[in-house]
Amino acid sequence: MRVAVVGTGYVGLVSGACLAEVGHEVICVDLDAAKVASIERGEAFLFEPGLQEIMDHTAGSRLRGSTDLAAAVRASELTMIAVGTPSSDGRIDLGYVRSAAAAIGAALREHPEPHVVVVKSTVVPGTTEDVVRPELERASGRRVGDGLGLAMNPEFLREGNAVVDFMEPDRIVLGVADDLARERLEALYAPFACPDVLVTTPRTAEAIKYTSNAVLATLISFSNEIGNLMAKLPGVDVRTVMEGVYLDRRWSPILEDGRRVRPGILTYLAAGCGFGGSCFPKDVQALKAFARAHDAPTPLLEAVMDINGSQPGEVVALLERGLGDLRGRRLALLGVAFKPDTDDVRESPSLRVAQMLVAAGAETRAFDPAARETGRVALPAQVQLCDTLEDALEGAEGVALMTSWRDFAVLPALLASREDPPLLVDGRRMLDPRSVARYAGIGLGPEPS
Ligand code: NAD
């Protein structure tokens, strides 16, 4: 199928590349000429495992880049909207979606071919029907259901696993407004082996995406609240507490042969320094604001955000508890990305900790295996971003481990040789507390007396 993807950020580029990989002819459109030029050169402009490999053999043939939205749309049978939906005063800003819909509509005016427009951006329930549809119909002079198809198809990819998630989806949700949209989307996704395709309305598809993100964010904040309580109890470790919780067969089912299944959901039921990224914080905020506008109270979502907002402060508090006043102290901040296997630093808890350490007068050196360019731009100027882990650790009296990169598993070995070992504050609880001389972690209670 000939496909245009409008908005080539994380979602647009990964979707476009993966659709090209399975044989579709894809044009990725963006306002940002530098991103388009990078696609045309066959270079991934963001770090995502497996993406460059796909672009190596699709760019220039089945995967193209363009800044000419109208030409791309007219050359296609289906157009996806994958533009950003940022937060504005806590509410979703639909400005990019609205203008993309208007531009796609204008391109379809006087263009009688059947065409389907699919919203892939995360949008609050009702947006596809009440915002995108009128823009499209007005600008195109055409009617949805009459050769113009409309759908909402949320994206569930996880950054750092985005290519695998797209190529081997656990679910495909098709919120279709008409038959043409359903037929084309089923054909688009036919090459992907997916256990479940859920066909529903656009409004329900939009609600599924928000609910999916909100429940994961809630698990994290719940675990953090419990972790902060356990940290007050002598000899108690939230990790062991949670391990006992996981063993409930409803969390970890026991197969007929006696083996346990360890579901991925349990990684969200774990205490740490809080969630970040381009989705959870803005999507939970947007859902809260959307609920308020519908007179539906969301005290639980309020608490989810409040707990998350204070969680980076727990890391700083642990450093202060171990080191005293941080003014003039040399510290290492390990991990800037909001999670491993990505260079995305948007809303990363590490940035919040960096700001607090600067405010406290600490001398901070940071390191991240991937987020170098993005980290350099986002970190406060007073924080020096180092090229190696060793450089960041040099002379450090305290270490804040903020991202669970596998590269940091070497820390115990690296620190073992230090005569005056630093305090390591494990914001992700990824290291064994006994593996370093001075350890503090989220959710770890004091030694019993
Ligand atoms: P992004 O900010 O990385 O990319 C958006 C791109 O759209 C930018 O490159 C921008 O230049 C471009 N753009 C904006 N208006 C345009 C227009 N009129 N024409 C052409 N290009 C235009 O955003 P993202 O992280 O890829 O997210 C996109 C959407 O997908 C958001 O709604 C987000 O919530 C959702 N989503 C993101 C993820 C994720 O992991 N990042 C996962 C699932 C869903």
The residues that are catalytic are 279
pLDDT of the residue at 324: 98
pLDDT of the residue at 417: 87
Question: Measured between alpha carbons, how far apart are the two ends of the chain, in Å?
Answer: 68
> Which residue's CA is the nearest one to ligand 1's atom 4?
9
Give the model confidence (pLDDT) of 202-245 as tens digits.
999 999 999 999 999 999 999 999 999 999 999 999 999 999 99
Give me the amino acid identity at 144.
V
> Which residue's CA is the nearest one to ligand 1's atom 25?
10
Give the model confidence (pLDDT) of 128-137 as tens digits.
999 999 999 9
Distance in angstroms (rounded) separating the CA atoms of residues 150 and 411 = 51
Specify the ligand 1 atom closest to the Cα of 32.
Answer: 11
Residues 29 and 66 sit within 8 Å (Cβ to Cβ): yes
- The domain segmentation of the chain, as residue ranges, is 2-200, 216-441
Distance 86 CA to ligand 1 centre (A): 9
Name residues contacting ligand 1 (CB within 6 A). 6-12, 29-32, 35, 69, 82-85, 96, 99-100, 103, 121-122, 155, 157, 159, 278-279
Among 49, 54, 44, 42, CA closest to 18: 54
Distance 354 CA to ligand 1 centre (A): 26
Give the model confidence (pLDDT) of 142-187 as tens digits.
999 999 999 999 999 999 999 999 999 999 999 999 999 999 999 9
Provide the pLDDT confidence category of residue 449 given band limits of 50, 70 and 90: confident
Distance 64 CA to ligand 1 centre (A): 18
Superfamily of domain 2-200: NAD(P)-binding Rossmann-like Domain (3.40.50.720)
Q: What is the 3-state secondary structure (H, E, C) of the chain?
A: CEEEEECCCHHHHHHHHHHHHCCCEEEEECCCHHHHHHHHCCCCCCCCCCHHHHHHHHECCCEEEECCHHHHHHCCCEEEECCCCCEECCEECCHHHHHHHHHHHHHHCCCCCCEEEEECCCCCCCHHHHHHHHHHHHHHCCCECCCEEEEECCCCCCCCCHHHHHHCCCCEEEEECCHHHHHHHHHHHCCCCCCCEEEECHHHHHHHHHHHHHHHHHHHHHHHHHHHHHCCCCCCEHHHHHHHHHCCCCCCCECCCCCECCCHHHHHCCCCCCCCCCCHHHHHHHHHHHHHHCCCCCHHHHHHHHHHHHHHHHHHHHHHHHHCCCCCCEEEEECCCCCCCCCCCCCCHHHHHHHHHHHCCCEEEEECCCCCHHHHHHCCCCCEECCCHHHHHCCCCEEEECCCCHHHHHHHHHHHCCCCCCEEEECCCCCCHHHCCEEEECCECCCCC
Average predicted confidence (pLDDT) for the chain: 97
> Which residue's CA is the nearest one to ligand 1's atom 40?
159
Residue 56, pLDDT > 90, answer yes
pLDDT of the residue at 354: 98
Radius of gyration, alpha carbons of the chain: 24
Range 31-54 average pLDDT: 97
Distance 278 CA to ligand 1 centre (A): 10
Residue 321, pLDDT > 90, answer yes
pLDDT of the residue at 385: 98
Domains 2-200 and 216-441 share a fold: yes
Give the model confidence (pLDDT) of 358-395 as tens digits.
999 999 999 999 999 999 999 999 999 999 999 999 99
Tell me the best of 27, 46, 66, 83 to mutate to test the pocket of ligand 1, counting ligand atoms within 8 Å of each CB and taking the most: 83
Distance 85 CA to ligand 1 centre (A): 7
Specify the ligand 1 atom closest to the Cα of 10.
Answer: 26
Specify the ligand 1 atom closest to the Cα of 121.
Answer: 32
> Which residue's CA is the nearest one to ligand 1's atom 28?
84
The domain 216-441 having CATH identifier 3.40.50.720: the answer here is yes
Give me the amino acid identity at 25.
E
Residue 273, pLDDT > 90, answer yes
Provide the pLDDT confidence category of residue 95 given band limits of 50, 70 and 90: very high
